[in-house]
A and B are shown apart, each in its own frame.
Chain A
Amino acid sequence: MTTVVGAAQLQAIVSDEDVVRVRQLVRTAAVTAKLSLVDQTKVVTAASELARNTLVYGGGGQAEVSTVDNGARRGVRVVFSDDGPGIADVELALTDGYTSGGGLGLGLSGARRLVEEFELNTEVGTGTTIAITKWAR
């Protein structure tokens, strides 16, 4: 069973600066969970993509960053949530190169590749929640 170690950190995402703050929180949690440098880099990059999505497509929201433990390993878990328009076609949104904005279309699909666990819940008109977990090896 996965348990949260210590207190989860909440960060509102309403500006560019907040995306930077999310990266820093995730970095700190990744160091605490003793992830390798490459794994730290991967999870911080994934968090950066998703935080920007929360800001740009979700119209702002929040990130909850925590260090987790499943009994065997430690890891970092980040939950992004927004009350934005939601994603109508999840399959399409997760396709490499697809973008509804002006981006490269690598945010969602790329972030998913960089972590071990990726759960996406979305409802049109209600919002989107994405939880990612990266485990120490």
Chain B
Amino acid sequence: MDRVPILKIGPVLLVSIQVDMQDQVALQLQEDLGERIVATGAKGVIIDITGLDIVDSFVGRTLSTIASISRVLDAETIVVGMRPAVAITLVELGLSLNGIRTALNVERGMELLSRSTEPDSPDEFDLDLDDLSETTSP
């Protein structure tokens, strides 16, 4: 079975779906992402669906589930690269991608994520591991 690769770029996990996914592949991605978020402490997930020529209710539901799982694990999901024909079809199908943020492309998605994670870490330098061990060790 194919697996969708998950790349780590800084605090973000990038998933680019390039294959016509079987349902099992989509479910596997859901599991893999959860594990990678926990393993890497990623704060954001970008799912690039430029390569998908359709999004049916199963894939749509999987994307929503991934977003929910990520949120529980303290990471935000942004779906990018949806083709216009796919967007039109999704709406007519009656699928609302609940809880999913979208952006036009990977670049905009990255911008969105860095903006939404910035206010959380204004004291980034104070939260260095070194500082932490100094204040907790004595």
Instruction: From known contacts A38-B88, A41-B53, infer whether A16 and B24 are also in contact, taking CB-CB under 8 Å.
Output: yes
Across the interface, which residues of B come within 8 angstroms of A96, CB to CB? 94
Q: Does A11 contact B (CB under 8 A)?
A: no
Size class of the B contact interface (CB-based, 8 Å): 20 to 34
Write the chain B residue with the least CB distance to A105. Answer: B57
Which residues of chain A have C-beta atoms less than 8 A from B21's C-beta?
20
Q: Are B22 and A42 in contact (CB under 8 A)?
A: no
Residues in chain B near residue A40, CB distance under 8 A: 85
Most buried by B among A16, A40, A114: A16
Q: Which residue of A is nearest B59, CB measured?
A: A48
In the complex, A27 Cα to B54 Cα: how many Å? 10
Asked whether A52 and B23 contact (CB < 8 A) given A23-B54, A37-B85, the answer is yes
Cβ–Cβ contact B93 & A114, under 8 A: yes
For B20, the closest partner residue in chain A by CB is: A20
Q: In the complex, are the beta carbons of A41 and B20 less than 8 A apart?
A: no
Interface residues of B in 40-57 (CB under 8 A from A): 53-57
In residues 30-60 of chain A, which contact B (Cβ within 8 Å)?
37-38, 40-42, 44-45, 48-49, 52
Q: Which of B23, B55, B85, B94 contacts A109 (CB 8 A)?
A: B94
A38 engages B57 (CB within 8 Å): no
Is B56 a contact of A45 with CB atoms below 8 Å?
yes
Chain A residues with Cβ under 8 A from B84's Cβ?
38
Alpha-carbon distance between A96 and B21 when the two chains are bound, in angstroms: 25
Q: Which residue of A lies closest to B56 (CB)?
A: A48
**A106 within 8 A of partner (CB):** yes
Is A41 a contact of B93 with CB atoms below 8 Å?
no
The reply to whether A104 and B57 form a contact with Cβ atoms under 8 Å apart is: yes
16 sampled A-B residue pairs with Cβ under 8 A = A16-B22, A20-B22, A23-B20, A23-B54, A27-B53, A38-B89, A41-B89, A42-B88, A42-B89, A44-B54, A45-B89, A96-B94, A103-B57, A107-B57, A109-B94, A114-B92
Residues of A within 8 A of B (CB): 16-17, 19-20, 23-24, 27, 37-38, 40-42, 44-45, 48-49, 52, 96, 103-104, 106-107, 109-111, 113-114
- Where the two chains meet, the residues of B that have a C-beta atom closer than 8 Å to any C-beta of A are 20-24, 53-58, 60-61, 83-86, 88-89, 92-95
